Amino acid sequence: MWVLFAFGSAIFAGLTAILSKIGIKNTDSNVATAIRTCVVLLFSWLMVFIVGSQHTLADVSARTILFLVLSGLATGASWLCYFKALQIGDVNKVTPIDKSSTVLTMILAFLLLGEHITLLKGAAMIFIGGGTYLMVHKRKGAAGQGNDTENAPSTSNLWIVYAFGAAIFASLTAILGKVGIEGVESNLGTAIRTIVVLILAWLIVFAAKKHKAIKNIDRRSWIFLILSGFATGGSWLCYYRALQTGPASVVVPIDKLSILFTVAFSYFILKEKLSVKAAVGLCLIVAGTLALLL
pLDDT digits (tens, 9 = 90+) for 261-273: 888 888 888 888 8
Q: Please, are residues 140 and 277 in contact by the beta-carbon 8 Å criterion?
A: no
The mean pLDDT value for 144-169 works out to 68
What is the residue-averaged pLDDT of the chain? Answer: 85
pLDDT value for 154:
42
Handedness of CA 9, 42, 45, 190 (dihedral sign): positive
Query: Would you give the end-to-end CA distance of the chain in angstroms?
Result: 16
Q: Which of 90-94, 96-100, 102-106, 170-174 has the highest mean pLDDT?
A: 170-174
Contacts of 176 (CB under 8 A, 6+ apart): 67, 68, 70, 71, 74
pLDDT value for 95:
86
Q: Where are the domains of the chain?
A: 2-291
